């Protein structure tokens, strides 16, 4: 979807984040690639997925979980974390905005506007699909670039 939207290319610095959010919103599930691991917990940059289902299985058996509350640090990924701790991995860079979009859906819109789950999901899907399609760069990782880098988002 990212390569064929208005911007016509994979969003920088990481197309992984928008791919994760498209999947998460479509399936209404922050666990990306659920079932990828059978007896393992997803982990990126040392931020391990936590929690278990009632049957004792790991809550997220996928490759990533974009709900930061489902991970050991239980705080949003920042650009500094993605650069300094996670070595600028494309998956870590993608967490910076995929977690923000998921948080808008799950926590912010219901808390700030009393939206129910369906209304919140529909609002975030609309904002993401229409606004995200114009993005060629989600943010800048350059110290020289003082702009936000959202380029349309």
Average pLDDT, the chain: 80
pLDDT of residue 48: 82
Angle in degrees, 0-180, between the axes of helices 15-27 and 117-132, rounded to the nearest 10 = 150
Tell me how far CA of residue 137 lies from CA of 18, 33, 105, in angstroms: 11, 24, 22
Helix (H, G, I), strand (E, B) or coil at 31: strand
pLDDT confidence of 146, banded at 50, 70, 90? very low
Q: CB–CB of 96/139 below 8 Å? A: yes
- Give me the mean pLDDT over the 92-121 stretch: 94
Q: What is the DSSP string of 80-98?
A: HIIIIISTT-HHHHHHHHH
Tell me how far CA of residue 122 lies from CA of 47, 96, 147, 152, in angstroms: 29, 22, 29, 20
Per-domain residue ranges of the chain: 7-132
Tokens read off for 130: 């229409």
Q: Would the CA dihedral through 61, 89, 16, 99 be positive or negative?
A: positive
Tell me: the pLDDT tens digits for 28-75? 999 998 888 776 667 777 788 886 655 555 678 888 899 999 888 899
**pTM for the full predicted model:** 0.81
| Beta bridge pairs of residue 32 | 64
pLDDT of residue 37: 78
pLDDT of residue 5: 66
Nearest of 3, 16, 17 to residue 102 by alpha carbon: 17
């Amino acid at each position: 979807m990212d390569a064929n939207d208005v911007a016509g290319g994979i969003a920088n610095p990481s197309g992984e984040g928008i791919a994760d959010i498209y999947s998460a919103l479509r399936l209404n599930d922050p666990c990306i690639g659920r079932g990828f691991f059978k007896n393992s917990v997803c982990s990126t940059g040392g931020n391990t997925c936590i929690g278990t289902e009632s049957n004792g299985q790991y809550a997220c058996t996928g490759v990533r979980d974009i709900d930061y509350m489902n991970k050991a640090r239980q705080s949003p990924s920042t650009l500094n974390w993605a650069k300094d701790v996670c070595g600028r991995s494309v998956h870590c860079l993608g967490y910076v905005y995929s977690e923000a979009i998921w948080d808008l859906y799950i926590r912010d819109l219901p808390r700030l506007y009393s939206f129910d789950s369906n209304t919140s999901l529909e609002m975030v899907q609309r904002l993401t699909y229409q606004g995200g399609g114009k993005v060629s760069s989600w943010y800048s990782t350059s110290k020289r670039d003082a702009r936000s880098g959202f380029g349309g988002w």
